[in-house]
Structure 1
């Protein structure tokens, strides 16, 4: 597979994970069932069309029909129950579908040319699946990192707030001690009023 093709696969897989992992839309069960019915009908029609072809062209046609069906089912599942794993399965389905068709096309060749063709097809499929796995792990790690960072920030804010609360309490306690000491120089009603004010300032 050419380098440009590999880059396109990488970009498409990366986009699928960046958008897929954040997908918020949900599909109803009825829509899901309708999707399954449509996919089955499309596959049946595609297989029927293959009947007009012969030999390896028929095999290629069947492989394409099966591949489209599998990819469509994987995409339907990812839409119904969005997750990183579901979108990873879509990329795997695409890689395996493309690989199956590519290997069937190799049957039009012979000898070493066919062997090379098959190895290239398998290598392209393996690379696409490996990239999809790497993207899924990266996406998961990034999300986990963000969650931990958010937790750390939240925890830090909580600790800062608690520290400020403790500091304010210590400050009031210190001021209360000072006020009590000042009241000590008074007597009678004046002292009582002074202590009442000190306690009020302290929040007691």
Structure 2
């Protein structure tokens, strides 16, 4: 009996260590990505110091956009949720808009107006795509849940035609198959 208890404790400890290590690896990768993004941003920004005027603004905006892309994608990967992925896409759309708008700063007159309108249209499209993709994923998850419920009810209905131990076995199999 003690050997069984000891073996169960060892297995439980090993499993919890494995789960903890996997979570820790994700955390380490996320932290490393953030640090890399920060370092790369500082390096790119320092290169911008030699430039003046609108090109300097564009250079800094590009460095910031690269940092936000890296951090947002790392965060989405770390959290691994639909909300995190949608948030990352929105952050990226916003920083891309800022970059495009900064690039428009060197233009004049109608060209500048058109450039800003195009940047705005690109942002609206990216945000709309993120929102639509989120709704599509949610709808697919709901549809899958509905299908599983319907299949489970079908299996239970098939079991009703049986009697005795066969019926009990059928119900047990259906519950096991559908995780109920």
Q: Same fold (TM over 0.5)?
A: yes
How far the C-alpha of 1:94 sits from its partner, in A, is 2.4
Decide which structure has the larger Cα Rg and report it.
1
**Structure 1 counterpart SS, 2:161:** helix
Q: What residue is the counterpart of 2:17 in the other structure?
A: none
Of 152, 156, 159, the match for 2:157:
159
Distance in 2 (alpha carbons) for counterparts of 1:98 and 1:55: 20
- Who is 1:6 aligned against? none
Find 2:40's aligned residue among 26, 39, 42: 42
Consecutive unaligned residues in structure 2, runs of 5 or more: 1-21, 168-180
Give the Cα separation in 2 of the matches to 1:33 and 1:120. Answer: 35
CA distance in 2, matches of 1:165, 1:88: 50
Distance (Å, rounded) in 2 between the aligned partners of 1:105 and 1:31: 33
Question: Does the aligned pair in 1 maintain the 2:72–2:92 contact within 8 Å?
Answer: no
Q: Name the counterpart of 1:146.
A: 144
1:86 — aligned with what?
Answer: 84
Map 1:3-152 to 2 at 5 A.
27-152=25-150
Shift in Å at residue 161 of structure 1?
Answer: 0.9
Relative to the length of structure 1, the TM-score reads 0.65
Q: Which runs of 4+ in 1 moved over 2 A?
A: 25-28, 162-166
Instruction: Name the count of aligned residue pairs.
Output: 144
Give ranges in structure 1 of 5+ residues lacking alignment.
1-24, 170-204
Equivalent-residue separation in structure 2 for 1:163 and 1:39 (angstroms): 63
Task: Say which SS state the counterpart of residue 84 (structure 2) adopts.
Answer: helix
In the TM superposition, residue 40 of structure 1 has moved relative to its aligned partner by 1.1
Counterpart-to-counterpart distance in 1, 2:161 and 2:46? 74
Query: Shift of residue 32 of structure 1?
Result: 2.0
Greater relative CO, 1 or 2 (CA 8 Å, sep 6+): 1
